[in-house]
Chain A
Amino acid sequence: MFSRNTARAGAAMLAGAALTLLSVPAHAKDVVKIAFIAPLTGGVSNMGLGGRNSADLAVRLRNEDPKSKYTYQLVTQDDECKPNVGVQVATKVAADRSIVAGVTHYCSAVAMATTTVYNRFGMPAIVWGAVLPDVTYANNFKEVHRVNGTMINQNEVAAKFMTGLGYKKWAIIHDTTDYGKGHNKYFSDFLVKNGGTILGTFGVTADQQDFTTELTKIRELKPDVIYFGGLTPLGVRIRTQMEKLGIKAQLQGTSGIKSDAYITGAGKELAEGSLSFIEGAPWEKLPGGLFFTGKYNQQRYSEPAEAYGPFAFAAANLIMDAVEKVGPDRKKVLDVLNKTKDADTIIGKVTFDDHRQNIVPLISKYVVEDGAWVLWEDSSYGKGKRKLAGL
């Protein structure tokens, strides 16, 4: 009996060992954690969720790749587009040493508030959506990188383009966060340089419902264009209330309203002709862009990627590329990221300048046509078949 038992036990042990050996290739990869932080609840959560899905897609694709040395895991946090919450979750993530780096923030005010956190904890972070120049340029924190462009380039192109079309008089509405104020400042500067006139500037709160007073005044001023520096929810309200008050001016937005939610919110008819400007090449046209949209649709995420999804995808990939090269060590990853030059991504070549800001040479202009954002050059407006308001 004894010997039979021993034999059984031995066999079991052998089998167990064999199983362990067999499973070695699948489990040998160390798990590397990457953080993703964005507004996942609240008014701009469509952007945050699109970014999260895109970063998640990058991680999934990398994990499917047999050549990758590690298994990656995305740790997501919600900053609610509020600086205080952002600092809290950023600290939580940065204090967790098992997290190598982060793809961080859509809202400029939050990205601005958290830079010191990443600096203090030495965690590399790549901003994927915030456009306030100060995020990279106000300080010189080695930890903070940014793949998307800033609002400086965006507004420079916007001012030149709009005056070039023949518009003369503007009224400006902006939200009173750092983001909206920044847009107002840069656009006003470039507009005056290009010969445009500003009839009035209106600061509004970021969650305002009623714009009747502001728009009534604007109606009296009779501008050709209403420039709006802010995000989608306000953009929708301003567009619908313009209609209610019978204002026929052209609405010119920023990258903040380039989302599908703007069109569904304002409705196809009202959104028609709205303009928006965004940094980067039109990724729909890049070979990488097609690859991205194809893979994105395969995963059947319940939210669209929105305008900045590809940037989040590219940021996650830059981090994973660095980890593949030097292993999951914050310092080493930081060194690699700092030196990024001509890296191939789906948003084009990424090169960080001395403030770790990606040099994005191109700004794309978009106009709403038949319920979709269409690249200006491809649109009936750009081809002269349709006309913007007041032209």
Chain B
Amino acid sequence: MSEIGQYIFNGLMLGMIYAMVAVGFTLFFGVLDVIKFSHGDMLMVGAFAGLAASMGLTAAGLDAPWAQLLCVVLFAVGLTGLLGAGIARFLILPLHKAPPLNTLLATLMLGTVIREAVRLFYPDGSNPKPFPALLPTASVDLGGFALRVDNLMLLVAGLLAIGSVHFLITRTKLGMAIRAVAQDGETARLMGINFEAVVLLTFALGSGLAALAGIMNGLYYNEVNFSIGLLLGVIGFAAAILGGLGNLYGAILGGFLFASLQVLGSALLPALIPDVPSAYKDVFAFAAVIIFMAWKPTGLIAEKSSERV
């Protein structure tokens, strides 16, 4: 029983991080119809920015965990948001009229550039780095399954973040502008919406969310390394496709679905077939995604294409 509780909780935690990455993919695809493959690496940049901020604060003598956490989040989200807007301004918008394949390739390469840059220029960047434990580490015992307070807080923080993005998109003027651009950029422009500003803001928003996911990832595992973004990017993308690219709910659903596939794979595979180690969990999860895509090519929640033509 305690095992199952642990699996479910871990699945929720992974799902939250995947969903936050997937929401970014979906936002970018929504406004510009682009797939930004460097998105996973933005998460890594966010985690490293947070780490650097935390080390700087510790060096400056500010040790209070709450103040530090706040500064870490603000700095990482701000920096990564700026970087995301910069990438949109100088790489993605200029390529907007080019075939979509160009954007895909350019961002794929940009991901490698970002990854290697962190590895080379962050001091001792090729080694795994310990991420400070800034949350309380108490745990509540629920019948053999230890529910850690910090994990619960991370889960709530993730829910809040996704909730506020949802609120922003559906209830605010900016959200309306984003939705208008997503539906039809040309018409939105004619209606007096500053197309470029909306695009840049959307990219900043998606990248900031990725940075937050990066910090959550760091706090959850207490460890970051320069290559975490690679697989998380692919998983986030798969989750966005799984849910239906361009749809916010789809991305969230896809994130949790992928996480449950992974946990199911790692828990069930070795139990059912003794010779198959849990190392095959990604094979299992991605194979399931392939089968799913053959069944429902548009994803769980299909985009209403008529809305956007």
Measured CB to CB, the residues of A under 8 A from B are 41-43, 45-46, 49, 175-176, 201-205, 207-210, 212-214, 216-217, 220, 232-233, 236-237, 240-241, 243-246, 261, 264-267, 303
Q: How far is the CB of B41 from chain A (nearest CB, A)?
A: 15
Select the stretch in B119-127, B167-175, B180-188, B205-213 that faces chain A.
B119-127
Nearest to A263 among chain B residues (CB) is: B130
B278 touches A240 (CB 8 A): no
Q: Which 3 A-B pairs have the closest CB atoms?
A: A203-B277, A265-B128, A261-B127
Residue B228, interface by CB 8 Å: yes
Nearest to A201 among chain B residues (CB) is: B277
28 CB contacts below 8 A, A to B, read A43-B227, A45-B119, A46-B126, A175-B279, A202-B278, A203-B279, A204-B277, A208-B279, A210-B221, A212-B7, A213-B7, A213-B263, A213-B267, A214-B266, A214-B278, A216-B3, A216-B7, A220-B3, A236-B128, A237-B223, A240-B222, A243-B222, A244-B221, A245-B6, A246-B146, A261-B128, A265-B127, A265-B128
| Chain B interfacial residues counted at CB < 8 A | 35
B148 touches A237 (CB 8 A): no
Q: Decide yes or no: A240 and B126 within 8 Å by CB, A204-B277, A213-B266 being known contacts.
A: no
Residue B129, interface by CB 8 Å: yes
Q: How far is the CB of B271 from chain A (nearest CB, A)?
A: 9
Specify which chain A residues have a CB less than 8 angstroms from the CB of B266 in the assembled complex: 213-214
Specify which chain B residues have a CB less than 8 angstroms from the CB of A205 in the assembled complex: 279, 282
Of B3, B128, B148, the residue contacting A232 (CB under 8 A) is B128
Nearest to A205 among chain B residues (CB) is: B279
Count of inter-chain pairs, beta carbons less than 8 A: 101
Nearest to B265 among chain A residues (CB) is: A213
Encode contact with A along B99-142: 1 for CB under 8 Å, 0 otherwise.
00000000000000000100100001011111000000001000
**How far apart sit A209 and B223, CA to CA, in the bound complex (Å)?**
10
Extra inter-chain contacts (17) besides given A202-B270, A240-B223, CB under 8 Å: A41-B116, A42-B126, A42-B227, A43-B225, A176-B277, A204-B277, A210-B10, A212-B10, A213-B263, A232-B127, A233-B225, A241-B221, A244-B148, A246-B139, A261-B128, A267-B130, A267-B222
Of B116, B130, B231, B279, the residue contacting A265 (CB under 8 A) is B130
**How far apart sit A128 and B141, CA to CA, in the bound complex (Å)?**
49
Specify which chain A residues have a CB less than 8 angstroms from the CB of B282 in the assembled complex: 205
**How far apart sit A265 and B227, CA to CA, in the bound complex (Å)?**
14
Residue B14, interface by CB 8 Å: yes
Encode contact with A along B200-226: 1 for CB under 8 Å, 0 otherwise.
000000000000000000001111010
**How far apart sit A101 and B132, CA to CA, in the bound complex (Å)?**
45
Specify which chain B residues have a CB less than 8 angstroms from the CB of A244 in the assembled complex: 148, 220-222
Q: Decide yes or no: A217 and B3 within 8 Å by CB, A203-B278, A240-B223 being known contacts.
A: yes
Nearest to B281 among chain A residues (CB) is: A213
A213 touches B278 (CB 8 A): yes
B279 touches A176 (CB 8 A): yes
Q: Which of A201, A213, A232, A240 has the most B CB atoms < 10 Å from its CB?
A: A213
Of A204, A220, A241, the residue contacting B278 (CB under 8 A) is A204
Q: Which of A49, A176, A205, A244 has the most B CB atoms < 10 Å from its CB?
A: A244
Specify which chain B residues have a CB less than 8 angstroms from the CB of A202 in the assembled complex: 270, 277-278
Specify which chain B residues have a CB less than 8 angstroms from the CB of A207 in the assembled complex: 227, 231
Encode contact with A along B1-23: 1 for CB under 8 Å, 0 otherwise.
01100110010001000000000
Nearest to A266 among chain B residues (CB) is: B130
Of A43, A213, A236, A246, the residue contacting B126 (CB under 8 A) is A43
Q: Which of A217, A243, A246 has the most B CB atoms < 10 Å from its CB?
A: A217
**How far apart sit A266 and B130, CA to CA, in the bound complex (Å)?**
6
- List residues 209-264 of chain B with CB under 8 A from any CB of chain A: 220-223, 225, 227-228, 231, 262-263
